[in-house]
Chains A and B, each alone.
Chain A
Amino acid sequence: MIDLENVAYSYGGGELLSDITLRLSPGSFHFLTGPSGAGKTTLLKLFYGALMPTAGHVRLFDADVRELTRDDIAMARRRIGVVHQDCQFLNHLTVTENIALPLLVSDRDMLAEDANLRELINWVGLTQRANALPPELSGGERQRAALARALIMSPDVILADEPTGNVDWEMSQRLMRLLVELNRMGKTIMIATHDLALIRAAKSQVQARVLRISNRSLQLAGADL
């Protein structure tokens, strides 16, 4: 799905990430953890082509990102659902329209997806807020809306950056169950979080690998969680 080979990244100063090799194979479940500022968000951005590696190779669906056109990257993003850490929406459209936005921009038949859309909104518990505008949502509601938007295209890969940062334990467990469920259906999942309790709770439900960024490189965390 997504391959990183000896990847390094720097924003201009020193290297933030170096020599990272990682393969997200279909159906895998990963957690990405590390202290604040370690580069979790940066690594996820490399996964969906928002950043180009300063060294090494990133392959999206077997194509080197450096060789992809802008349209190719757009097409790849339709197969990668991303929950951004700072969930951004179109503030003049309702929650429902925002969640359906990926369908709209990829010219999908909205009527055919309508039932799907309702079910998803119900799943993330936003049915009551379906017609609200994004600025009217709470932090947790925004994260749930962002998750729904990431899932609406039924993507092969789901990248979630702190998807439970603003929700209570109950809701975070619900969202995790949804992600585990999607993983059982064959989706590849990568969740960046520094909430170790979340990772521990998930480990009982799913075979997950935990990756930790420390000293600019990626390490497999063992049972020491």
Chain B
Amino acid sequence: MKLPKLDMEQVRGLLSGDAGADRVVPPTGYTAWLTLFAAGAMAFLAVFALALSLATARLADRWGDALARSSTLRISAPEGQMIAQTDAALNVLQTTPGIATARALDAGEQRALLEPWFGPDLPIESLPIPQLIEIIEEGAGYDAAGLRLRLAAEVPGAVLDDHTRWREPLVRAASRLRLLGWLSLVLIAGTVAAMITLAANAALSANAQVIGVLRLVGARDRYIVLAFVRRFTLRSLSGAAVGTVLGCLAVMLLPRAEIGGGFLTGLGFQGWHWIWPLTIPLLSGGVAYLATRAAAQRTLKDMP
């Protein structure tokens, strides 16, 4: 396949605008509104697909990274042995390769963890609550199976929770979701191209006589192509611009619930990611430009 060459003179002509050349293409009435609407609707959907893809990418990073670097050791022991077992466990952990730090949570931190479930007045000292030890990994991480064996021998009340059990399916789901987001974007771009091609083809065959007359009075192909291309590119560009603005507004108006830090509330653009939705109208215009140009050149090929 020959890649379409971007003709700079054509692009300049496209941007500078030429009222005369626009006049030679007859007005198309309601199909103009259909094209505008469809381009706008597609841009609106594209904003969401983009937000989804970026949000899941962030999420997968967070889960894959932050959670992977930490795990928890839980010690359940009778009242008298708790301190001894905790010390023994810390001792084991500190001598295990791949572990950067191991730290027993103090009563205050444990209470903070339980607070959402039991309220602030929990008399934590008087309850048989397991002691938690936070483990932070380093390098390639530690060997979980080996660690479990050592703990079983030296700290019978310890249970190691390395998070992999529930982390892996989440990371998998996140990357699958991101893939779906990108796939949606590709499908949306394809739909815009198909739609503009159909609209341009319909307009061109309805205007075959116009094109014939223009050729006979000495119009060059470039002039005729540009007259049609300009109309469809500008239409698709402006439709997509409106759709993008509406889509971005809708994303901005999503309710925030930062504490949850959950997946749904993360849907949106952060920092320089706001650049991405701005590319949607440009891409839409570009797709329309190429689709119309190809359709116009096909029509002209059969005209002397």
Binding site for B on A (CB under 8 A): 45, 49-51, 70-71, 73-75, 77-78, 82, 84, 88-93, 97, 101-102, 104-106, 110, 149, 153
Chain B 265-303 residues near chain A, CB threshold 8 A: 300
Q: How far is the CA of A91 from the CA of B207 in the complex (A)?
A: 11
With A51-B304, A88-B209, A88-B212 as known contacts, state yes or no: A101 contacts B217, CB within 8 Å: yes
Q: In the complex the two chains form, is B221's CB within 8 Å of A71's CB?
A: yes
17 example contacts (A-B, Cβ-Cβ < 8 A) are as follows A50-B216, A71-B221, A71-B222, A74-B215, A74-B221, A75-B218, A77-B215, A77-B217, A77-B218, A78-B218, A88-B216, A101-B213, A104-B21, A105-B217, A105-B218, A105-B220, A105-B223
Which of B23-31, B75-83, B133-141, B242-250 is the contact stretch?
Answer: B23-31
> How many B residues face the partner with a CB closer than 8 A?
22
Q: In the complex the two chains form, is B217's CB within 8 Å of A49's CB?
A: no
Name the distance in Å between B62's Cβ and chain A's nearest Cβ.
Answer: 58
Residues of B within 8 A of A49 (CB): 304
Determine which residue in A70, A75, A91 has the highest number of CB atoms from chain B within 10 A of its CB, and name it: A70
Q: How far is the CA of A101 from the CA of B215 in the complex (A)?
A: 11
Q: In the complex the two chains form, is A101's CB within 8 Å of B24's CB?
A: yes
Closest to B26 in A: A92
Residues of B within 8 A of A93 (CB): 23-24
With A50-B304, A51-B304 as known contacts, state yes or no: A82 contacts B216, CB within 8 Å: yes
Name the distance in Å between B7's Cβ and chain A's nearest Cβ.
Answer: 13
CB-based A-B contact count at 8 angstroms? 63
Q: In the complex the two chains form, is A102's CB within 8 Å of B220's CB?
A: no
Q: Does B108 contact A (CB under 8 A)?
A: no
Closest to B223 in A: A105
> Per-position contact with A for B38-55: 1 when CB-CB < 8 Å, else 0?
000000000000000000
Q: In the complex the two chains form, is A106's CB within 8 Å of B218's CB?
A: yes
Residues of B within 8 A of A153 (CB): 218
Residues of A within 8 A of B21 (CB): 104
Closest to A70 in B: B221
Name the distance in Å between B296's Cβ and chain A's nearest Cβ.
Answer: 13
Q: Which of B213, B221, B223 contacts A90 (CB 8 A)?
A: B213
Name the distance in Å between A18's Cβ and chain B's nearest Cβ.
Answer: 21
Name the distance in Å between A107's Cβ and chain B's nearest Cβ.
Answer: 8
Q: How far is the CA of A27 from the CA of B234 in the complex (A)?
A: 47
Residues of B within 8 A of A105 (CB): 24, 214, 217-220, 223
Residues of A within 8 A of B304 (CB): 45, 49-51, 73
Name the distance in Å between B125's Cβ and chain A's nearest Cβ.
Answer: 89
Q: Does B20 contact A (CB under 8 A)?
A: yes
Closest to B217 in A: A102
Residues of A within 8 A of B20 (CB): 104, 110
Closest to A88 in B: B213
With A49-B304, A92-B26 as known contacts, state yes or no: A70 contacts B220, CB within 8 Å: yes
Q: How far is the CA of A198 from the CA of B288 in the complex (A)?
A: 53
Q: How far is the CA of A149 from the CA of B214 in the complex (A)?
A: 12
Chain B 219-244 residues near chain A, CB threshold 8 A: 219-223
